Structure 1
Amino acid sequence: MSGSLRACQGRDPQGVCGLESAELRRLVVYVHGRGGSAKEAEHYRALFPESDVIGFDYRSQSPWEAHEEFPRFFGERRGRYGSLVLVAHSMGAFLALSSLGKRHVDEVYLVSPIVDMEKLIRDMMARAGVTEEELSKRLEIETGFGERLSWKYLRYVRDNPIRWGVPTHILCGEGDDLTPVETTSAFAGQIGADLSVMRGGEHWFHTREQLRFLDAWLGRLKRAGLGSGECAASCSTRSTFPSTPRPRP
C-alpha cells in the first residue's frame, strides 16, 4: 500500500482503515482542526508520495479526552511503521501537543497551531467581558460570539502546560487571529522548532494561494533536508516569506 491513501472517515470504529503491515515504511497522520475533516488528509498524498497517508477522525473535544484517545491511536500505528509523521492544524495541533510525545511520533509539521490555549481563553473572556472570578462561580458561560467558556478547561490548560520534545516545523499566517505570530514564535523558540510565516496569511490556509504556499513550505523543508526527523541548524529560527514564493532559478 506504499504511497496509497487511507483517510479515516468514521467508518472504522478501530480507526485501522485497512492498513497493511508496513514496518519499513513511513506513515503520515493528518489531524484536522475544529470543524475540519479527516478527508483533508488527501491534500497531503502528493506531498508525501513515498509514505502512507491517513486522516485521524478523532472524537475528543478537550485535552483530557485527547489524553486518552490520541496516544492509543498513534501508539497502535507507530508500532507498525518504521516512522510516523504528524501533520496537524489549529485545534488538532493543540490536542496532539497536549497528549502525544516521542513514543508516538518522530517528526511534526504544524500549520497555524494553537500553542497557548490559556491565552486564547483569556482573550475570549476579555472579549465577552467575563472575569475569572465570574467564570469560577458559574463554571460555564456562553458568549455572544458562539464560544462556551469553561472554568474546567481554563484550569486544565493552566495546570498542564505543553511540554514537547519532538522535531517540529511550524507554519503560520502573519494575520492569524487566534494565535498571534509573536506567541507562535515564542513557542517555537521554547521547543527548538523552525518557524515560517506567510506574509498576509491568515489562520486557515484554504485559498489556492495559501495552499500553494503551504505546499512550497513543505517542499522547501524537504529540499533543505529538514524534513528527515532531525532538527538541523535552522531550528529555533523564524523566516517570513511573501504570499507568492519566488520561482526557483
Structure 2
Amino acid sequence: MKNAVIYIHGQGGNAKEADYYKKFFDSEHVIMGFDYKSRFPWEAQLEFPDFFDLATSQYNKIYLIANSIGAYYSMITSLEIMMNFANKIGATVTVMNHGEHWFHTEEQMNFLDKWFKKFI
C-alpha cells in the first residue's frame, strides 16, 4: 500500500496546487489535492470527514499539507496555545518571521522548500 500526501488549499486556491509538492516525494507517494468548496473552516469541517476516512483506509501513511486555513486559526488562537497543542501531540511548528499565511514570494517559497528538504 502506498503513502499519500494530501494538500488542502487556502481560500481562493485549488487542488491543482498540490502539484508543487511532487518534487519532494518519491513514487511511493500519491500526491493529491483536497478540493473543498466551503468558504470558512467551520463549514469545511463538514466536507473533511468522508474524504479523510476514505484516505485513511487506502494509504499506509498520510502527510497533510494545509495552506491558509491554518492562518485562520492563528488569527483566533495565540502562538502559545498552538505550541502547547503541538507539544501535546508530538508535532512541530515552524513560523517564518514576517511570513504570510499564503506563501507566494520568492523568499517565502525558498523558505518552504528548505523546510521540506530538511523535514520531509
Aligned 8 A contact 1:115 1:184 in 2: no
- CA distance in structure 1 between the partners assigned to 2:41 and 2:114 by the alignment: 31
CA distance in 2, matches of 1:116, 1:195: 12
The residue type paired with residue 110 of structure 2 is: R
Change (3 A) 1:210 1:64: closer
Over the matched positions of the two proteins, sequence identity in percent amounts to 42
Conserved in 1, the CA contact under 8 Å of 2:67 and 2:101?
Answer: no
* Structure 1 unpaired stretches of 5+: 1-23, 94-112, 120-178, 223-249
Pairing 1:115–2:73 present: yes
TM-score by length of 2: 0.81
Q: CA deviation at 1:185?
A: 4.2
In 1: Cα distance, 2:43 partner to 2:54 partner:
17
- More RCO (CA 8 Å, sep 6+): 2
Cα deviation for residue 39 of structure 1 reads 1.3
SS of the equivalent of 1:82 reads: coil
Q: In the TM superposition, what whole-angstrom CA distance separates every residue of 1:184-208 from its partner, at most 9, and x where no partner exists?
A: 3431223313222223322321112
How is 1:123-138 mapped onto 2 (pairs within 5 angstroms)?
none
Letter in 2 for 1:208: E
- 1:40 equivalenced with 2:17 (yes/no): yes
Match of 1:218 among 112, 116, 119: 116
Q: How does 1:32-181 map to 2 (within 5 A)?
A: 32-49=9-26, 50-91=28-69, 93=70, 113-116=71-74, 119=76
Report the Cα distance in structure 1 between the residues aligned to 2:81 and 2:18, rounded to whole angstroms: 28
What is the SS of the residue equivalent to 1:198?
coil
CA distance in 2, matches of 1:202, 1:60: 22
**What is the DSSP-based 3-state SS (H/G/I as helix, E as strand, rest coil) of the residue aligned with 1:59?**
coil
State how far apart, in whole Å, the 2-side matches of 1:191 and 1:197 are.
13
Following superposition, the deviation at residue 88 of structure 1 comes to 0.3
- Cα pair 2:7 2:66 within 8 Å, conserved: yes
* 2:8 maps to which of 17, 31, 37: 31
1:185–1:218: structure 2 CA closer, same or farther, 3 Å change rule? farther
Q: Distance in 2 between matches of 1:81 and 1:197?
A: 29
| Among 187, 193, 205, the residue aligned to 2:103 | 205
CA contact (8 A) 1:29 1:54 kept: yes
Which structure is larger by alpha-carbon Rg, 1 or 2? Answer: 1
Aligned residues: 116
Give yes or no for contact 1:115–1:187 (8 Å, CA) kept in 2: no
Q: Which structure shows the higher helix fraction? A: 2
How far did 1:64 drift? 4.4
